[in-house]
């Protein structure tokens, strides 16, 4: 984890290459592999951030030979690479690709994998170190881990390391998360497990800690005395597309809140760790989750909002309702939008609400953290033309444009006292340039280096599910009556606005850039038969 580094996958930014190793990808024929993992590995290779003694072994049920899989991967990299494909770099990379065909539930698959690892070690001198990446459906997580253990592939001996990377979701509720952690723990030590959240591969997310703790002007005001509230928005323009089958079992709350959003909240709210060592950072993040006020059923009804998109317009194009998406039930009760108010019972944050919202088919793709500071008293300006003071805002933008902006008030030139909003705006691309990235480069590199700082330990996963479990329980017991309750292309249901309005607050509009414009909600349209 390189907190002070620019957003470039280069020798300078990431340091030295890892030691010799092989990376085994379960689910090698899937979308995640071709769209993210192979391009990320290629970016590392192009930046000379992979060891010379390196191999990639794809494992999937599709019946490819190694040569066929290399040909397929070579074709796909030209479609999904984040930048140009350098022929020399790809030639080096592709010669290190191997493939094993087999069923994840079949013990013979793991025998073939062991043979392939032995061949890769002989060909590429990987020295027995191995990173297993589970780019599979969640149902296979315990199955693959148990089979790896039974085949003796997780043993660490004679200085060789074995690590397993698990993609989210880490369970679908608190009991399943506990069960999954227990199942994995029967085979692996906790230090061998890397629960990955690709949001933490984004430079701006990693920069939250550097921004807070490396700048003396911000940390003194990062508390209840100066901060009015904090907003976290993770908005997507896209609908569920072809993932309706998965989304019907997940929904917006399970899919985004216990992982992506809670990572952003804990990094924003945590106390200074004693160091940037993984255990120290994780301890402080977990303390934040445990300090969140538990939701009673009454609080769920009052401070948690769910929504589902109906048909609407996005970028001038008509889009269908969630219930008309492929593999979605016509009477689906699955939420595609969630807004919640959280309260952290700590000395730093007592009385400061943290508002979160996430949803699909919203007006604009945007992920940002907004720190709204308290409004100063107006008394000094009583006899001027200033009738209201605008509170200062710090906006940490994570996607699509990574950067940080801070607004403050300044006097407008002229004989009378008038104030105008001024913005200090920092964009990563302006200061450090930009290198095409998938967001996985840093995470994969850290796995190979054995640095778990950007990965969730078991206790953090369970603490996150503990917070949202009461919401899941109430929503299961009380199905929504008003779905769909927001139009595609809007900013979600009106109840989400009311969540803030009753406290005299309002959501910041991500479409306003760095200015302080607010959301103007379009008039509700009558429901149609298709919604």
- Please write the tens of the pLDDT for every residue from 109-126: 999 999 999 999 999 999
Average pLDDT in the 127-152 region?
96
**Lowest-pLDDT range, 199-203, 245-249, 318-322, 369-373?**
199-203
**Higher confidence at residue 203 or residue 73?**
73
Evaluate the omega torsion of the peptide bond into residue 77 and state whether it is cis, within 30 degrees of 0: no
Closest of 53, 460, 416 to residue 267, by C-alpha = 460
Confidence check: pLDDT of 324 > 90: yes
Four-residue CA torsion sign, 229, 372, 256, 130:
negative
Average pLDDT in the 369-380 region?
82
H helix and E strand count, the chain: 17, 18
Confidence check: pLDDT of 385 > 70: no
- What pLDDT score does 382 carry? 65
In angstroms, the CA 502 to CA 500 distance is: 6
**Lowest-pLDDT range, 164-173, 415-424, 477-486, 500-509?**
415-424
- What pLDDT score does 332 carry? 96
Average pLDDT in the 327-350 region?
97
- Coil, helix or strand for 396? strand
Burial of 176 (0-12, 13-18, 19+ CB in 10 A): middle
Average pLDDT in the 130-142 region?
95
Output the six-digit token pair for 373: 């500071």
Q: What residues form DSSP beta bridges with 24? A: 57, 132
- What pLDDT score does 502 carry? 94
Question: Is residue 53 very low, low, confident or very high in pLDDT (cuts 50, 70, 90)?
Answer: very high
Average pLDDT in the 193-199 region?
88
Average pLDDT in the 498-521 region?
73
Confidence check: pLDDT of 8 > 70: no
Average pLDDT in the 233-239 region?
95
Q: Let me know: does 340 contact 230? Beta carbons within 8 Å.
A: no
78 catalytic? Reply is: no
Q: How many residues does the chain have?
A: 531
What the chain holds in terms of domains, given with CATH numbers, is 11-167 (3.40.50.720), 201-380+455-508 (3.30.360.10)
Residue 507, CB-side half-sphere exposure with 13 Å CA sphere = 27
Confidence check: pLDDT of 392 > 90: no
Q: What is the pLDDT of residues 283-300, one digit of tens each?
A: 999 999 999 999 999 999
What's the predicted TM-score (pTM) here? 0.87
**Lowest-pLDDT range, 11-15, 77-81, 235-239?**
11-15
- What pLDDT score does 517 carry? 37
- What pLDDT score does 226 carry? 96
| 78 phi-psi bin (left φ>0, alpha ψ -120 to 50, beta other) | alpha
In angstroms, the CA 530 to CA 82 distance is: 38
Confidence check: pLDDT of 67 > 90: yes
In angstroms, the CA 320 to CA 424 distance is: 39
Output the six-digit token pair for 256: 């985004």
In angstroms, the CA 311 to CA 484 distance is: 9
Catalytic residue among 172, 198, 229, 260: 260
Question: Is residue 515 very low, low, confident or very high in pLDDT (cuts 50, 70, 90)?
Answer: very low
Neighbours of 237 (CB within 10 A): 16
Question: Is residue 21 very low, low, confident or very high in pLDDT (cuts 50, 70, 90)?
Answer: very high
Output the six-digit token pair for 1: 């984890």
Confidence check: pLDDT of 168 > 60: yes
Closest of 197, 198, 272, 264 to residue 231, by C-alpha = 264
Confidence check: pLDDT of 530 > 50: no
Average pLDDT in the 365-369 region?
94
Output the six-digit token pair for 459: 């206790």
Confidence check: pLDDT of 227 > 80: yes
In angstroms, the CA 73 to CA 69 distance is: 6
Q: Let me know: does 236 contact 362? Beta carbons within 8 Å.
A: yes
Closest of 364, 375, 377 to residue 513, by C-alpha = 364
Question: Is residue 522 very low, low, confident or very high in pLDDT (cuts 50, 70, 90)?
Answer: very low
């Amino acid at each position: 984890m390189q907190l002070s580094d620019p957003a470039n996958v280069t020798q300078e930014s990431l340091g030295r290459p890892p030691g010799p190793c092989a990376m085994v990808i379960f689910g090698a024929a899937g979308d995640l592999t071709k769209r993210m993992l192979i391009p990320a590995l290629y970016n590392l290779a192009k930046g000379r951030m992979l060891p010379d003694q390196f191999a990639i072994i794809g494992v999937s049920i599709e019946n490819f030979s190694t040569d066929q899989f290399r040909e397929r991967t070579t074709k796909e990299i030209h479609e999904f690479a984040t930048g140009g494909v350098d022929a020399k770099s790809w030639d080096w990379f592709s010669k290190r690709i191997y493939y094993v065909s087999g069923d994840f539930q079949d013990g013979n698959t793991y025998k073939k994998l062991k043979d392939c690892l032995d061949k890769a070690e002989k060909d590429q001198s990987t020295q027995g170190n191995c990173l297993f990446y589970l780019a599979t459906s969640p149902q296979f997580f315990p199955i693959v881990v148990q089979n790896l253990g039974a085949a003796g592939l997780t043993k660490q001996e004679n200085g060789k390391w074995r690590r397993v990377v698990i993609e989210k979701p880490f369970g679908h509720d608190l009991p399943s998360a506990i069960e999954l952690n227990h199942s994995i723990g029967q085979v692996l030590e906790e230090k061998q497990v890397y629960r990955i959240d690709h949001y933490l591969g984004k430079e701006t997310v990693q920069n939250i800690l550097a921004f807070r703790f490396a700048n003396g002007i911000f940390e003194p005001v990062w508390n209840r005395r100066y901060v009015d509230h904090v907003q976290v928005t993770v908005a997507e323009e896209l609908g569920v597309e072809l993932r309706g089958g998965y989304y019907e079992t997940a929904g917006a709350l399970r899919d985004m809140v216990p992982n992506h959003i809670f990572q952003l909240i804990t990094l924003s709210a945590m106390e200074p760790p004693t160091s940037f060592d993984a255990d120290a950072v994780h301890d402080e993040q977990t303390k934040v989750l445990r300090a969140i006020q538990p939701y009673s059923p009454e609080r769920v009804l009052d401070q948690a909002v769910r929504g589902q998109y109906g048909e609407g317009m996005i970028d001038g194009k008509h889009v269908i309702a969630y219930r008309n998406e492929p593999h979605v039930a016509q009477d689906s009760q699955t939420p595609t939008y969630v807004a919640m108010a959280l309260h952290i019972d700590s000395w730093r944050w007592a009385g400061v609400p943290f508002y979160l919202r996430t949803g699909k088919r919203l007006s604009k793709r945007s992920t940002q953290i907004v720190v709204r500071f308290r409004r100063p008293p107006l008394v000094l300006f009583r006899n001027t033309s200033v009738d209201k003071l605008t509170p200062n805002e710090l906006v940490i933008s994570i996607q699509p444009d990574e950067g940080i902006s801070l607004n403050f008030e300044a006097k407008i030139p002229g004989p009378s006292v008038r104030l105008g909003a001024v913005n200090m705006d920092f964009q990563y691309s302006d200061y450090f340039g930009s290198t095409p990235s998938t967001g996985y480069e840093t995470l994969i590199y850290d796995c190979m280096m054995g640095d778990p700082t950007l990965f969730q330990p078991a206790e953090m996963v369970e603490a996150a599910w503990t917070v949202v479990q009461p919401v899941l329980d109430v929503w299961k017991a009380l199905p929504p009556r008003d779905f769909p309750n927001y139009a595609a292309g809007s900013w979600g249901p009106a109840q989400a606005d009311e969540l803030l309005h009753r406290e005299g607050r309002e959501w910041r509009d991500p479409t306003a850039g760095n200015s302080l414009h607010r959301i103007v909600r379009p008039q509700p349209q009558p429901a149609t038969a298709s919604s």
